Amino acid sequence: MTNILLVGIGGFIGSVMRYLASGYVQQATKSVDFPYGTLAVNVIGCFVIGFLSQLAEGRGVFTSESRLFVFTGILGGFTTFSSFGNETMNLVRDSQMMNAFANVGSNLVIGLFAVWLGRTVSYMIWR
């Protein structure tokens, strides 16, 4: 139960941070044509998870509970794209290049397909 609370509280913090950061960046760019806020959140999340992962692996800075709170909770709430990026880099680090490319390709292609499918099913049901 403690782990669930750690992830939940961290997720709340990360989600609020995503909402604030994305909105701030989008408003600052004054763009209606490109989602700069989402891009910024994804890039920031990737940088932070890379930085903290190196500390965790190289220096053993995090306990298992603090990893759940920070990595799964806060960063997961902030952006799951950071987890995708970190997992892909772990595959590259472990010389599993085919798996790294498969991870990138399948997340991109299947993810976009799933969005299209969800929109299509919703349209068909609610038209």
Tell me, yes or no, whether 85 and 117 share the same domain: no
Tell me, yes or no, whether 109 and 89 share the same domain: no
> Residue 58: its pLDDT value, please?
84
Give the chain as a DSSP string: -HHHHHHHHHHHHHHHHHHHHHHHHHHHHT-SSS-HHHHHHHHHHHHHHHHHHHHHHHH----HHHHIIIIIIIIHHH-THHHHHHHHHHHHHTT-HHHHHHHHHHHHHHHHHHHHHHHHHHHHHH-
Give pTM, 2 decimals: 0.80
Asked if the model's pLDDT at residue 12 lies above 90, the reply is yes
- In tens, the pLDDT along 63-121 reads 999 999 999 999 999 998 988 998 999 999 999 999 999 999 999 999 899 989 999 99
> Residue 77: its pLDDT value, please?
94
Domain of residue 112, residue span: 97-127
- In tens, the pLDDT along 30-58 reads 998 898 999 999 999 999 998 998 888 88
What's the domain count of the chain? 2
Tell me, yes or no, whether 79 and 110 share the same domain: no
